[in-house]
Amino acid sequence: MKAVKEKIKSNNGATVVMALGYLLLCITIGGIILSAGSAAIGQTRHLRDEEQDYMTVYSAAELIRSEMAGGSFVEEYVTITHDRPCDVFETSPQRSLEPPANALADKLESLYDDPSAQETFLIQAPELGLEDVTVRVSMNAERVLKFVLTRSGETPYALTLTMAADVESLTETDTSVHEFQSPPGSGEYDLCTRVLVREITTVTFDASVITKGEN
């Protein structure tokens, strides 16, 4: 009888230990499931934020591309020469530069003559869903415009808009004859030939590509 009681006690002890072990296992598995669920929720939120940043930066790039499409720099260079000294005094050479007629004109004009130059500005257009987009723009010697757009925050994102240029050159020559007194005040007149050469360079931006990252 005593042996039976001891056996029952022994079995009860083993049962309690097994129950505690099973409970501990369930708690551990539950903790793992909760941790995995929390991680999945955090990852989903991160992906959503990253997608939002991507759409913001991409929309800003599209806005710039639309603004620049078909825009042109027009450079005019004029030289005037005479075949002999005369009483016509004209400044030569003369140069003028007309930037694209759009909202970015003041940002681009300084880049035309200096391939190493860079302009930086911030896009803030809440009404378009565009906020805190930083833009760095440069132009190389081949007249290729590069806009690097970034948005900082918990999920920083960057895109590069590259716009190739179509360059056209035109040269116009105008020759005229000018009568002048020689020597001055003598009442005698002579002729000199005036040659005006106008060189016009038109740089038009059209073809473009948007790539991921700061290229």
pTM: 0.69
User: For residue 120, how far is the Cα from the chain centroid?
Assistant: 9
Q: What is the pLDDT of residues 30-47, one digit of tens each?
A: 555 555 454 444 444 444
Residue type present at position 75:
E
Q: Could you give the C-alpha distances from 13 to 4, 5, 16, 21, 24, in angstroms and in order?
A: 14, 12, 5, 12, 17
Lowest mean pLDDT among 44-48, 74-78, 103-107, 172-176: 44-48
Higher pLDDT, 201 or 40: 201
Q: Could you give the C-alpha distances from 97 to 90, 108, 129, 178, in angstroms and in order?
A: 19, 11, 34, 29
CA distance linking residue 53 with residue 208, whole number of Å = 22
Quote the pLDDT of residue 48: 57
> How, if at all, do strands 157-181 and 145-151 pair?
antiparallel
The chain-wide mean pLDDT, for the chain, equals 81
Q: What is the pLDDT of residues 91-131, one digit of tens each?
A: 788 999 999 988 888 889 999 999 999 999 998 888 777 88
Domain boundaries, the chain: 47-212
- pLDDT winner (highest mean) among 5-19, 42-56, 173-187: 173-187
Closest among 86, 48, 61 to 137, alpha carbons compared: 61
